[in-house]
Amino acid sequence: MDKRKTVGVIIFAAIMLVSCKGRAVNVPDNDFVLLENSVVEATEILRNSGQINQKNNDMTSENEEVQNEDVQKQDVHMGMTIKRVSRPITNDEGKVLANVYYEKPVLLDDCEAAQKINQFFEQEEKIWLEGKAGKITEYMDDYYTDFQEGVELMRERYGDEALIDFPLHYTISTIITLLDNDMLSILQIRDVMLEHKHCHYYGYTFDLKSGEQIPLNALANITPEGLKKIIGDMGEMYDALEGENYMIHYGEDEIAMNYEYYYDGSHFFIIINQADGLGIEFQDGEIREWNGRWGDAYEVTAFWYWIYPLNEEIEKEIFYTEEGERSE
């Protein structure tokens, strides 16, 4: 599979039809929790952290009715779930031309920390589905409008039938990578496909006692220079990582790289969505899996995830692994 996948949608879809036939899901080695198996029994975890309130366990599993939205909900008693909020773009006959959704993590508790985390992702849902400016929309107020205009252009070029057979994508998929007594860590994969298809990644690690995000340097022995070593040769913008500065600039945007990660309890996954030479709309994100060690024990693996458009299977592609060469 080529590193940069900029293929016309009709050719791309035909290739994917062949590629996906009989393909098994290639998911991460970690025990990630996907949507179809997204429920995490978190009652004891949150209670042990002192952040759970006793409440009625008689929760019912029912779909929320929201105008112009198809909300798929999975409930669990006082635990955690992922709720997909879907707003597909259809033609006049109701046929889906583009899959549009946001998978929202939901802590099923009313403690202050859980409320703060839930409110964060509720805002992210609005940013994505309403096209507001934010990190997942490249800080553009018209990001979703641009996608909608792109859908109309694709209809003109290829016709509705082609898009009905191979719907376009504007989606955020969510994976829970860690939920323990103290922390919640989440990976989100942004998948946007018009004539070209690209995936980008967003990581969040929360303190379950405060509801605040935890920076990478609070969990690991890492300086800005060490972070730059792990990222590797991705462009001059990362030269700014020195001294006590974890910030880089990408155009007019300022990005705190010590928050661009997720965690599985043993390894740190550093996210790189920006690189010199190409705009984010013409490149895919990358991830660096770091074992949290330096010297002879140092190990970093560079990879990305790819979501197949026809069946939403997730595949991991590894670029390289480095061992024991970079000292902090």
Read off the DSSP letter of residue 258.
G
pLDDT in tens, 22-55: 222 233 333 333 343 334 444 344 434 433 333 3
On the question of pLDDT at 7 being above 70, the answer is no
Nearest to 242 by CA among 264, 253, 227: 227
pLDDT score for 281: 52
Here the tokens at position 69 are 């939205």
Residue with tokens 């303190």: 207
Q: What is the pLDDT of residue 86?
A: 96
Task: Classify residue 245 by its DSSP letter.
Answer: B
- Cβ 108 vs Cβ 53: under 8 Å: no
pLDDT band at 183 (very low <50, low <70, confident <90, very high): very high
- Rounded Cα gap, residues 213 and 302, in angstroms: 24
The full DSSP string for 6-58 is ---HHHHHHHHHHHHTTPPP---SS--B-GGG--B--HHHHHHTT--------
pLDDT given at position 226? 96
Structure tokens at 119: 């409110």
Instruction: Report the pLDDT averaged over residues 323-328.
Output: 70
Confidence class for position 139, pLDDT limits 50, 70, 90: confident
- Do 104 and 85 contact (CB within 8 A), yes or no? yes
Q: What is the model's pLDDT at position 251?
A: 78
The average pLDDT across 239-266 equals 93
CATH class of 9-323: alpha beta
pLDDT band at 236 (very low <50, low <70, confident <90, very high): confident
Helix 112-130 / helix 143-158 crossing angle, nearest 10 deg: 40
pTM: 0.80
Q: What is the pLDDT of residue 326?
A: 59
Q: How far is CA 25 from CA 4, 8, 81, 276, 279, in A?
A: 21, 24, 21, 32, 30
Measuring CA to CA, how many Å separate 180 from each of 66, 205, 240, 265, 286?
32, 12, 34, 9, 26
Q: Work out the average pLDDT over 211-222.
A: 97
Structure tokens at 268: 């740190």
> Is residue 65 predicted with pLDDT exceeding 70?
no
235 close to 278: Cβ distance less than 8 angstroms: no
Q: What are phi and psi of 227, to 5 degrees?
A: -60, -40
As a whole number of angstroms, the distance between CA 296 and CA 98 comes to 48
Amino acid at the residue 21: K
Please name the amino acid found at residue 296.
Answer: D
Q: How confident is the model at residue 290 (pLDDT cuts 50, 70, 90)?
A: very high
Answer whether residue 10 shows pLDDT above 90.
no
Tokens of 112: 């202050």
